[in-house]
Every structure is written in structure tokens, then in C-alpha cells.
Amino acid sequence: MTSEAPAIARPTQDGSRVPFELFTRQDVFDREQETIFRGPVWNYVALEAEIPQPCDFKTSFVGDTPIIVSRAEDGSLHAFVNRCAHRGATVQRQACGNVRQHRCVYHQWAYNARGELVGVPYRRGVAGMGGYAADFDPKEHGLQKLRVASHKGVIFATFSPGTAPLEDYLDTPLIEAIDRLFSRPVKVLGHMRQRVRGNWKLYAENTRDPYHAALLHGFHATFGLYRTNQKRKGGADRARAHSTGVTYGDDWRQASMGNVEQDKVVAGYSLADPSLLEGRPDFNDGVTVQITSVFPGLVVQQIMNTLATRQIRPKAPDDFELYWTYFGYQDDDAEMTNTRLKQANLVGPAGLISMEDSEAIELIQRAIVRDGREDSFLEFGGLNADLDKDRTGEATIRAFWRYYAGLMGPSPIAAEP
């Protein structure tokens, strides 16, 4: 007699109820790796600015699969699984670098910057012993390749041959949002990482959730970077997989309070050293916050002068890494670079306006260990809210769940007959 795992529940069709077991079950996580991360989606993997020169590489992830993102001698971009075609060892052990060949330490199999096998020790044997058969074809033993596409220097990869072209996948509002930040050549300033004991989708929800922003993040609200009553504008792709939104901020010294007494504003808190918030705008559109979430695991942010990509790297049902790539522009002067380095205080694992998010996620993960058929309640803003107009409610989270459910299939983990 075999004991089958029970079929899992699904989000409701409108995306307003999400069973907790979607955040806790290993079989759900495994299914996501196949149907989502290796499915018809473009996964963000790196910025071109991180690998500007021929033979530059960076190790990254698609879902939980380790990959190498590489620039070949001719400047073309490539991505391949970081797992030796011989015995499965990790090939490239460094986080980044510049090499003509990626060489596995175990038996010295060597791959070029396109992931093609170019070196096999003792391939013809030694003194008639060992070696491979005459029909051994190195072309059949390269590293598993992914398709790669780059938009304005933002590199995406996909395992699936069926994924739509990148520009179609992103669609116009998302392309415009990315173009706004990547219209000038960027320069990477560094990375930040945090390891969160929570499910990766809780973070995907978080970046599509304007409701929490001024209620959880007190620093945000106090200094007028984000208040519930501020002017906002948003957009999404046709498929409603992604979300982008901007907030037109107040000058923090004369922030308009209005009817937001429930926002978490700290009375009488001003900065003893205001240099933290004294940047100069990168753009002339009055936008202080732009958050763009690309399904499944990319967030692109501008918060004042902080610019970053965030890559959600799922590790287990209750574990993900959040990997921040913090950047500026190549034509930044020293003053602007200093501003960006100082404003890095706002974001990342120690961010004055971001540290709360991972804590909120861990609080959920800790409480949903049981009662997997109970669900998350997502009706703020009303079920008929216009996704393009209502940027205060939970409509974008519901859209995420509808798209997610579509990829996972009608019965995500049906018991085998």
C-alpha cells in the first residue's frame, strides 16, 4: 500500500484566497521548479554591467538551479547550468571573474565561455588504457544551455523553448519602467544579500502590496517617501503576471499629511543629520519610488537615489535568498556616488525602510506550519478593482496568484492514479 500525498488546494479563481500549504509543501516547491522557473517565463539572472568584458562570468540561479552567466569572446551572452556534464560537480566555484575556460576540478573537464566542452583529459587514453570510444562527441557533452535575452542590459534566461520573446513577455508598461532606469549605462556599486526563512512567493506578494507600505514601514511614512495618500500610477502586462508602480513623493520637510492618521508616522521625528535624504533627483518626473516586479523573481527599484535589482532565489519551501544588485550610472560624479552609498542605508537587509519586509515574511512562515487549507485573505480594494487605476489595494497580488495558478495547472499536485 502506498500513501500518496493529498492533492493540494488551489488559490480561488479570483486570487483572493490562497491556501497556506502553497507556502509550506515540498511537492509544491518541486512542481514550481518545473512548471514555473523552468517553464515559459524569463528569469532575471544578472546585469550586463556585471560582465562587461569578453570572458567575464557571474554565477547565478534560475529557481534553485545554479547557472553561469557568461559573455563569450565575441561579446554574445550565454547562460548554462553550473553542473559538470561528466559527473555532476559544480564547475565554476567563484561568484564572478574572467576566464576563457570553466574547468571542473574533479576530472578537469573544461568548457568555454559558451558552455561547450573543449577539454577532456586522457580522452584518447594513456598507453592503450582508459580514454573514450572513438565516437565520443564533445558536442553532446556541453553544459546544459538556457536561452538568453537582454533588454537594456538586464539579462534574462529561460529553460523553455516555448517562452515568448522577452519584449512580449514583459509588455509595454514593464518595458517602459525598465527603460526609465536603464536609459543610461549603469555601473554596479555592490551587492547585498539576506537569507529569509520564508517562502519565495511571500516576497513576490510583498512587492505587489501597496497596502502594507505606509503601515509597516515607519521610516518610509515619517519622511514622506511613501504615504497612503500620495499620487500613484501603475501598470501591468496583458497577462497580469507583472506589476509596476510609481509614487510621486513629497519633499520630506513639507510632506502633506492629509487623511492618513493610520499611517505609521513617528511624531516629532526629524533627522539630526539630514544628509541622508539630501540627494538630487535622477529624473525630472517627481517620482520618489518606483517598484517593478517581473514574474517570477525580479524586482527593480528606485527609491530616491537608490537603484537596485532584487533577485528572489528560492532554496526550499521555507527558505529563500534575496540578492540585491545595487547600481548607479557610469556618468555619476563623486557626489552622486556618495549619495547613493549613503542612501543604501534605506534599503537592503539593514534598510531603514526595508528591514521590516523579511520580518513580516518570517512571521507568516512561522505561523502557518499547520492548517494548510486555511487561507490568506486578499480582498483589500475590492474584487472588481481596476488593476491599472487602484494602486492602493491588493489587486496586483490577486493577479499574481491567478497567473501562478495558470502555470501550475488545474490540479497542481494531483495524486497519481
Partner 1 sequence: MIAATSEAYGAICALEYRYARLLDDDRLEEWPNLFVERGVYKVIPRENLSRDPPLAIFFCDSRAMMQDRVRSLREANVYNLHYSRHVVSNIEVLSDRNGTFEVAACYTVYQTDLEGQTRLFGVGQYRDVIALADDELRFREKIAVCDTFNIPNLLAIPL
Q: Which residues contact partner 1 (rule: CB under 8 A)?
A: 95, 189-197, 216-219, 222, 264, 266, 269, 271-273, 275-276, 321, 326, 337, 341-342, 344-345, 348-352, 355-356, 358-360, 362
What SS3 state is found at 33?
helix
Shortest reach from residue 288's CB to partner 1, in Å: 17
> Looking at the DSSP assignment, which residues form a beta bridge with residue 328?
187
Shortest reach from residue 152's CB to partner 1, in Å: 22
CA distances from 350 to 138, 303, 345, 388 (A): 47, 15, 7, 32
Shortest reach from residue 110's CB to partner 1, in Å: 26
126 vs 334, beta carbon nearer partner 1: 334
117 vs 192, beta carbon nearer partner 1: 192
Going by the DSSP 8-state scheme, the letter that residue 91 receives in this structure is S
175 vs 361, beta carbon nearer partner 1: 361
Of the candidates 307, 267, 291, the one whose C-alpha atom is nearest the C-alpha of residue 186 is 307
Other CB atoms within a 10 A radius of the CB of residue 296 amount to: 26
Maximum alpha-carbon separation in the chain: 86
Shortest reach from residue 286's CB to partner 1, in Å: 24
7 vs 266, beta carbon nearer partner 1: 266
Shortest reach from residue 362's CB to partner 1, in Å: 6
Shortest reach from residue 337's CB to partner 1, in Å: 7
DSSP 124-190: T-BTTBS---TT--GGGGSPPEEEEEEETTEEEEES-TTPPPHHHHH-HHHHHHHHHHSSS-EEEEE
Going by the DSSP 8-state scheme, the letter that residue 218 receives in this structure is H
198 vs 235, beta carbon nearer partner 1: 198
CA distance 11 to 345: 37
97 vs 131, beta carbon nearer partner 1: 97
Nearest-5° Cα angle at 158, 153 to 164: 90
